[in-house]
Structures are given as C-alpha cells and as structure tokens.
Structure 1
Amino acid sequence: MTNVYSFDGILVFGLLFICTCAYLKKVPRLNSWLLSEKKGVWGVFYKAAVIGSRLHIAVAGSCMCMGFYLIFLK
C-alpha cells in the first residue's frame, strides 16, 4: 500500500492519472465532455491525455517499472 504523501505515491498517482486520461480520450462521449477545455483547471485532464497518447511507450514502461518496484522491492 503506497502513501499518497510519499514520492512513490505521487508517482503512482501521476502515472494512473495520465493513463486514465489517455483512455478517456479514446471514448467519444467523454472526450467531448471532459477533454474539451484546453486551459484552466479542466485543461489538466487534456494535457495529461496528450502526454499519455504521445508518450505511450514511455508511460507504459514507467508503469511496468513502477509495478515491479511496488510488488517486488517495496
């Protein structure tokens, strides 16, 4: 179990947030509703979705490394 206030927890939260937003970008109804704003507070979702879709190989590798670390090393 990771603590949100630790560095590990922040990394896990960030990776899951990016992966979730990238997935929601592929769903047409949610894409137009949630990811339509590109600025402001709602723009964070759009920016995370763009990071997840453009850097999908790096994000997937980071998720695999973080999973290995949490399961076997922590």
Structure 2
Amino acid sequence: MTNAYSFEGLVIFSLLVVCTSAYMRRVPRLRQWFLSEKKGFFGVFYKASIIGTRLHIPVALTCVLMGLYVLLLK
C-alpha cells in the first residue's frame, strides 16, 4: 500500500491523474463532456490532459520508473 500523504504517494496520484486525463482527451465523447471546462475544479483535469499529451514521453518514462520502484524497491 502507498501512503497518500507521502511524496511517493503524491507522485503516483499525480501520474494517475495526468495519464487518465490524457486518455480522456483522446476519446471524443469524454473530451466534450469532461474536458470542456478550462477553469475551476475540472480545469485541473484539462491542464493535466494538456501535460499528458504534450509531455507524453517524460510522463511515460516516469510511470515506468515509479512502477519499477514500487514493484522492486518498496
């Protein structure tokens, strides 16, 4: 189990939000419904989807590294 209040838990949670939002950006129906707001609470998901699509290589590498860290070192 990963503690949500630790640094590693925060990194894992933010990676999950970025990856999920980037995936939702690729699905047309979800994009219109979920990522139409650019401000407020749903604006966080819009900005995370932009980060996920523009920086997809560093995000993917970070996901792989965190996965290996959790599986092998923790």
Q: TM-score, normalised by structure 2?
A: 0.97
Give the residue type in structure 2 aligned to 1:52.
G
Q: Where in structure 2 are the equivalents of 1:1-74 lying within 5 Å?
A: 1-74=1-74
**Structure 1 residue ranges (4+ consecutive) displaced by more than 2 angstroms after TM superposition:** none
Shift of 1:41: 1.3
Give the residue type in structure 1 aligned to 2:47.
K
Shift of 1:39: 1.1
Where in structure 1 are there 5+ consecutive unaligned residues?
A: none
For residues 62 and 49 of structure 2, the distance between their equivalents in structure 1, rounded to whole angstroms, comes to: 16
What is the RMSD computed on CA atoms of the aligned residues?
0.6
Q: TM-score, normalised by structure 1?
A: 0.97
Shift of 1:40: 1.3
| Alignment: residue pair count | 74
**Structure 2 SS opposite 1:3:** coil
Give the residue type in structure 2 aligned to 1:24.
M
What is the percent sequence identity of the aligned residues?
A: 61
For residues 60 and 70 of structure 2, the distance between their equivalents in structure 1, rounded to whole angstroms, comes to: 15
Give the residue type in structure 2 aligned to 1:53.
T
